[in-house]
Amino acid sequence: MDSRRLLRTSATALAAAGLILSGCTGGSDAAASRTTASASVAGARASVPPGAETGALKRYYTQKPSWRACGVEGFQCATLLAPLDYAKPDGGDIKLAVSRVRATGPGKRIGSLLVNPGGPGGSAVGYLQGYAGIGYPAPVRARYDMVAVDPRGVARSEPVECLTGPRMDAYTQVDQTPDDTAETRALSAAFKEFAAACEKRSGKILPHVSTVETARDMDVLRAVLGDEKLTYVGASYGTFLGATYAELFPGRVGRLVLDGAMDPSLSALDLNRDQTAGFETSFGAFAADCIRRPDCPLGTESVAAAGEALRSFFRAVDAEPLPTGESRELGESLATTGVIAAMYDEGAWPQLREALTRAIGGEGSGLLALADAYYEREADGTYANLMYANAAVNCLDLPAAYSGPADAEKAVPSFEKASPVFGEGLAWAALNCTYWPTPPTGHSHRITADGAPPILVVGTTRDPATPYKWAQSLAAQLSSGTLLTYEGDGHTAYGRGSDCIDTAINTYLLEGTPPQEGKRCS
């Protein structure tokens, strides 16, 4: 089973997740491209926001996209220009990769539907071409042009680069549960090396990859596409991006679906700790399913006993890593990542059971494959820029969780309370932004988006990466928020098999009518 496919909708708030990616794809005949591009610019002139009709921003809002075929039938690609620094919009451009697939019909075209899979760092273009543009419900694809833009610093949009492949391999294997001063220093040194490499290779763009700047890019794209309002489906971190857009431009909000919601009012420390609890909840669901099976590698006694068996396994591979059939061994860090990767989708549970069975038997390749999918590591040892962009955005959006290793050590007990299985490692993982070379520009705060039309917030009760209470909180913060609940497992809800969820979201996207407040689906 392809672990990348299992993780295709995974996108986390503060960690990272595997996504199906494909090259810039698509095509249409050249005459049609020229015609639709001209129509988009005509609409854009009517949708240039106040203050941008003149001055340095005007050329961005009125630019003419040159749509071209780019590899796979049905998709087109273009390059969108945005100011590198919105505070100095005449100070240079950043080039952003955009892709679309036109509305298929039947029925009157509604407009453009922008999609973002989260991360931060997930390729929206890859998500569109690999899933959303062909896998979203047919009635939605019939009425909307499906569109995606890789956020600044991500994938095809002037990506943040940091470590080389071999150094990234070493980074992913560093012990994240330090047992002594030497191991604590080694972990700090790894985070420092990562940050220094990002500054060396991507110093120009690092100060300009915030969520606020990406939300402003989305408004430029809205105008260029000729849409008066933004219609958008964002998953996981994509919900924070969508909520930020609504905060900046409430009058330009169309129909916004925020699926697997983040809570913008929380600090980095609280986000990390809540997410840790979310992974514990998801593991509990996995363990409850596993112990009912006679071949469960964690035993058949109880969920608590399964958790202790997994902790014992982590301790064992911390002391003595497992062979994997290649030069990399499976130590505790990669083993933990492999398990966490499978928490995003209950469809990955059979693969995790098999991987754990093999690992407990002394062979670590199954868990390594899950970890590699999570990190977007290719077979040739190269990495996509997911983890680099993830850190760059997160460390810019919020002040670091800790001022140094002593703070991390003090936080361990509270993380272990949130998750006996994953708590210690995830507590130390939150140290990564401590050494970031670019100071944060954002801060935690409530988002109300006063004046926006109804915004649909979707939460999954046993979501590992964006705990359900975050969706409850965001829906309550937004002046026009409506909460839709999926009672189930996995990360996000749309397009994951619930007809109830899909029907409610489709109705909202197609008719503008949100579900009744408090609606619950299974």
Residue numbers annotated as active site: 236, 463, 491
Cβ proximity of 80 and 219 under 8 Å: no
Angle at CA of residue 353, ends 351 and 355, nearest 5°: 65
- Measured CA distances, 203 to 198, 200, 391, 415 (Å): 7, 6, 13, 33
DSSP-derived secondary structure letter, 514: P
Cβ proximity of 296 and 353 under 8 Å: yes
For 408, other C-beta atoms within 10 Å of its C-beta total 23
Cβ proximity of 265 and 288 under 8 Å: no
Cβ proximity of 136 and 114 under 8 Å: no
Single out the residue of 45, 47, 472, 487 nearest to residue 230, CA to CA.
Answer: 47
Element holding 484 (H helix, E strand)? strand 481-489
Q: Are strands 93-101 and 230-235 parallel, antiparallel or unpaired?
A: unpaired
Q: Are strands 455-462 and 481-489 parallel, antiparallel or unpaired?
A: parallel
Element holding 287 (H helix, E strand)? helix 268-290
Residue owning tokens 């990669």: 334
Q: Helix, strand, or coil here: 491?
A: coil
Residue owning tokens 């990495």: 383
Question: What angle, rounded to 10 degrees, do the helices at 165-173 and 332-342 form?
Answer: 90
The number of C-alpha atoms within 13 Å of 361 and in the hemisphere containing its C-beta is: 12
Cβ proximity of 8 and 61 under 8 Å: no
DSSP-derived secondary structure letter, 383: B
**Total count of residues recorded for the chain:** 522
Residue owning tokens 């988006």: 449
Q: Helix, strand, or coil here: 336?
A: helix
DSSP-derived secondary structure letter, 472: H
Alpha carbon distance 84, 82 (integer Å): 6
Show the 3-state SS of 118-159: CCCCCCHHHHHHHHHHHHCCHHHHHHEEEEEECCCCCCCCCC
